[in-house]
């Protein structure tokens, strides 16, 4: 095993009792020492590999507790150049798509056809560099036989003037022998494998780069069984770079039980998560289940998607099979019914109950959640995206909405996530929302229902240790202490000292998962 010492850093271990450390050592995937550089180097002895973090702030790797990574990966692969009728139109579309991606993440999609452009010449990497200089770009042509790559992509897969053409492929070169960025047939395969359209394995392979670039080192994925299969393929190939806790769709519960799947099964890269149940719908669709209904939609109290008795039955079935339960509940009545159902079903040994979203809750029910140990898996950006709608539709109701402060004070464990692609997965935007209850443009001034704001430390814990706790992984993740996994990120903005308004603009510099650098800003 390689021993690495990450040094010259300001390491916030996640244990708020202690001042930042200077260095951290990992032996293989696990942390073996944290402290001053002298302490850490003494602990590991000679022969360790030194990684200089240039004085950057370090925090535990961020953990998204609720994300649809397959849907998100599909969106990332969607720059569609079929309608472009000139190089300029294609470049404009690429620039727009690039603006939505995480810094340094790969740009994919494509489907360009230079034969229908006003000047039908094959494009080159310099044109692509002009709109996408700082991240690798690899864009298959509409016929799939060519990839148009930028300089960064060529560099990353090690193609230069000295690279011979592979068997069954061609690296197109200019008159000086320099690769132009056009890779034909098998010469394009290494790049195509990173995000081929319509192939979920390739799309997730590309998307994990995007997520790592955002500082996420673990996710609770809420998508389907196809997503599970794709992640298992990546893991078996040794190509998985971030850790996955994979939920089971409710309509697959029976099959999962039949095959003996249990929550926590797996390894540190891929574990089976909880079954995902639904108690109600969503606010925007007027289908969240409310005690008092919606303004301007009299008589509608939303929808109990799963009748109460079925909910109890499903919870008991899952629990008896060793499968944890995470139930979607947005409205106060939905949350109440889920808490009732959890209470009635009884607490299963070794498993944690979760409520996903827990957006609008009665205060008395928060106390009950705490008593029953129910984790609130919440998405801070849902608050800032939906607050205007809440003020309109749920006006005058006695609700605790996105009630992070009330939850924490009551002793409800908080786990944070994004619900991407419903919202962007950037966890630093989530931290800002949790700390300010304003949008990133600062509105509304002072924050919406500001009494529910959290401190930076509290929000960060919810997005690291809190998500780990929701998965029963708090002994492995979320805090940088010996014996836990060496999952950490170096950032250009120290969240504990920076102005809060700069936090959404945080740049991740290095993402380390299992003691190895899995992504690095160039």
Residue 108 lies near a second copy (rule: CB under 8 A): no
Residues 427 and 62 sit within 8 Å (Cβ to Cβ): yes
Query: Residues 6 or more apart from 126 whose CB is under 8 A from it?
Result: 151, 181
Taking CB under 8 A as the criterion, the residue among 18, 100, 145, 363 binding a second copy is 145
In Å, how far are 200, 298, 362, 376, 396 from 290, measured between CA atoms? 37, 12, 10, 18, 13
Q: Which of 448, 430, 444, 445 is nearest to 495 (CA)?
A: 430
Residue 186 lies near a second copy (rule: CB under 8 A): yes
CB of 290 to a second copy, least distance (A): 13
Residue 177 lies near a second copy (rule: CB under 8 A): no
> How big is the site for a second copy, counted in residues (CB under 8 A)?
40
Strand partners, 56: 9
Stretch that binds a second copy, among 19-27, 135-143, 213-221, 448-456 (CB under 8 A): 135-143
CB of 185 to a second copy, least distance (A): 5
Give the other-Cβ count within 10 Å of 38's Cβ.
10
Taking CB under 8 A as the criterion, the residue among 19, 55, 133, 284 binding a second copy is 284
Cα–Cα distance measured from residue 215 to residue 492, given in angstroms and rounded to the nearest whole number: 12
Query: Residues 6 or more apart from 164 whose CB is under 8 A from it?
Result: none
Provide the pairing of β-strand 400-401 with 508-513: unpaired
Name which of 149 and 435 has its Cβ closer to a second copy: 149
Stretch that binds a second copy, among 91-99, 207-215, 278-286, 497-505 (CB under 8 A): 278-286
Kindly report the backbone phi and psi dihedral angles of residue 86, in degrees, each rounded to the nearest multiple of 5, phi listed first.
-160, 165
Stretch that binds a second copy, among 20-28, 40-48, 126-134, 285-293 (CB under 8 A): 285-293
Name which of 196 and 468 has its Cβ closer to a second copy: 196
CB of 237 to a second copy, least distance (A): 13
Q: Which of 195, 200, 255 is nearest to 223 (CA)?
A: 200
Cα–Cα distance measured from residue 480 to residue 31, given in angstroms and rounded to the nearest whole number: 7
Taking CB under 8 A as the criterion, the residue among 1, 17, 99, 143 binding a second copy is 143
Give the other-Cβ count within 10 Å of 85's Cβ.
11
Provide the pairing of β-strand 49-60 with 3-11: parallel
Name which of 147 and 471 has its Cβ closer to a second copy: 147
Kindly report the backbone phi and psi dihedral angles of residue 371, in degrees, each rounded to the nearest multiple of 5, phi listed first.
-60, -40
Taking CB under 8 A as the criterion, the residue among 133, 168, 411, 442 binding a second copy is 168
Residue 481 lies near a second copy (rule: CB under 8 A): no
Residue 373 lies near a second copy (rule: CB under 8 A): no
How many CA atoms, within 13 angstroms, populate the side-chain half-sphere of residue 384?
Answer: 27
Residue 29, exposed/middle/buried by CB under 10 A (0-12, 13-18, 19+)? middle
Structural tokens at position 185: 């047939």
Taking CB under 8 A as the criterion, the residue among 54, 174, 226, 237 binding a second copy is 226
Residue 122 lies near a second copy (rule: CB under 8 A): yes
Cα–Cα distance measured from residue 423 to residue 21, given in angstroms and rounded to the nearest whole number: 33
Name which of 230 and 479 has its Cβ closer to a second copy: 230
CB of 75 to a second copy, least distance (A): 10
CB of 20 to a second copy, least distance (A): 40
Taking CB under 8 A as the criterion, the residue among 61, 136, 181, 224 binding a second copy is 224
DSSP assignment of 164-190 equals PPPTTEEEEE-TTS-EEEEEEEGGGHH
Residues 365 and 337 sit within 8 Å (Cβ to Cβ): no
In Å, how far are 87, 146, 219 from 92, measured between CA atoms? 9, 20, 32
Residue 180 lies near a second copy (rule: CB under 8 A): no
Tell which positions 421-460 bind a second copy, by CB under 8 A.
Answer: 422
Structural tokens at position 252: 């697959």
Residue 287 lies near a second copy (rule: CB under 8 A): yes
Residue 406 lies near a second copy (rule: CB under 8 A): no
Residue 380 lies near a second copy (rule: CB under 8 A): no
Residue 128 lies near a second copy (rule: CB under 8 A): no
CB of 371 to a second copy, least distance (A): 28
Residue 167 lies near a second copy (rule: CB under 8 A): yes
Kindly report the backbone phi and psi dihedral angles of residue 402, in degrees, each rounded to the nearest multiple of 5, phi listed first.
45, 55
Residue 175 lies near a second copy (rule: CB under 8 A): no
Structural tokens at position 43: 């602990």
Q: How far is CA 383 from the centre of its chain?
A: 18
Site string for a second copy, 190-209 (x = CB under 8 A): --------xxx---------
Residue 169 lies near a second copy (rule: CB under 8 A): yes
Name which of 36 and 115 has its Cβ closer to a second copy: 115
CB of 138 to a second copy, least distance (A): 15
Residue 307 lies near a second copy (rule: CB under 8 A): yes
CB of 178 to a second copy, least distance (A): 16
Return the residue matching tokens 């499968």: 323
Taking CB under 8 A as the criterion, the residue among 19, 85, 92, 115 binding a second copy is 115
Please report, as ranges, the residues that interact with a second copy according to CB under 8 A.
Answer: 70-71, 74, 113-115, 122, 141-146, 167-170, 184-186, 198-200, 224, 226, 280-282, 284-287, 300, 303-307, 389, 422
């Amino acid at each position: 095993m390689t021993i690495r010492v990450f040094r010259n850093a300001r390491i916030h271990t996640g244990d708020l009792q202690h001042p930042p450390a200077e260095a951290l050592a990992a032996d293989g995937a696990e942390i073996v020492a944290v402290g001053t550089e002298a302490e850490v180097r003494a602990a590991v002895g000679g022969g360790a590999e030194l990684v200089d973090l240039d004085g950057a702030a370090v925090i535990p790797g961020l953990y998204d507790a609720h994300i649809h990574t397959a849907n998100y990966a599909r969106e990332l692969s969607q720059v569609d150049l079929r309608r472009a009728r000139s190089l300029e139109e294609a470049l404009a579309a690429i620039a727009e798509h690039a603006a939505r991606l995480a810094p340094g993440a790969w740009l994919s999609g494509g489907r360009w056809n230079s034969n229908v452009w006003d000047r039908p010449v094959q494009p080159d990497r310099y044109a692509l560099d002009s709109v996408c200089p700082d991240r690798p770009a690899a864009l298959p042509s509409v016929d799939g036989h060519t990839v148009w790559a930028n300089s960064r992509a060529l560099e990353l897969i090690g193609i230069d003037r000295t690279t011979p053409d592979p068997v069954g492929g061609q690296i197109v070169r200019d008159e000086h022998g320099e690769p132009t960025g056009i890779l034909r047939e098998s010469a394009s395969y290494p790049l195509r494998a990173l995000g081929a359209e319509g192939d979920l394995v390739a799309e997730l392979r590309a998307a994990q780069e995007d997520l790592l670039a955002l500082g996420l080192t673990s996710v609770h994925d809420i998508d389907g069984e196809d997503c599970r299969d794709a992640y298992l393929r990546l893991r078996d190939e040794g190509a998985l770079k971030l850790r996955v806790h994979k939920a089971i769709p409710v309509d697959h519960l029976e099959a999962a039980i039949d095959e003996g799947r249990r929550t926590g099964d797996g390894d540190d890269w891929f574990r089976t998560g909880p079954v995902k149940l639904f108690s109600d719908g969503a606010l925007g669709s007027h289908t969240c289940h409310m005690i008092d209904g919606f303004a301007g939609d009299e008589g509608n109290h939303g929808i109990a998607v799963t009748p109460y008795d079925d909910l109890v039955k499903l919870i008991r079935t899952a629990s008896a099979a060793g499968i944890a339960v995470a139930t979607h509940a947005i409205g106060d009545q939905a949350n109440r019914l889920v808490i009732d159902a959890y209470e009635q079903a009884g607490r299963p040994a070794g498993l944690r109950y979760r409520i996903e979203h827990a957006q609008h809750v009665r205060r008395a029910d928060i106390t009950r959640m705490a008593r029953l140990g129910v984790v609130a898996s919440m998405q801070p950006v849902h608050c800032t995206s939906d607050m205007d709608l809440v003020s309109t539709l749920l006006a005058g109701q006695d609700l605790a909405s996105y009630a992070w402060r009330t939850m924490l004070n009551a002793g409800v464990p908080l786990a944070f996530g994004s619900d991407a692609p419903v919202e962007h997965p950037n966890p630093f935007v989530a931290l800002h929302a949790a700390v300010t209850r304003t949008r990133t443009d600062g509105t509304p001034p002072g924050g919406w229902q500001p009494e529910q704001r959290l401190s930076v430390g509290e929000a960060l814990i919810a997005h690291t240790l809190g998500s780990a706790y929701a998965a029963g992984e708090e002994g492995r993740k979320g805090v940088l202490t010996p014996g836990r996994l060496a999952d950490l990120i170096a950032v250009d903005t120290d969240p504990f000292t920076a102005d809060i308004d700069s936090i959404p603009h945080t740049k991740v510099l290095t993402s380390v998962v299992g003691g190895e650098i899995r992504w690095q800003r160039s």
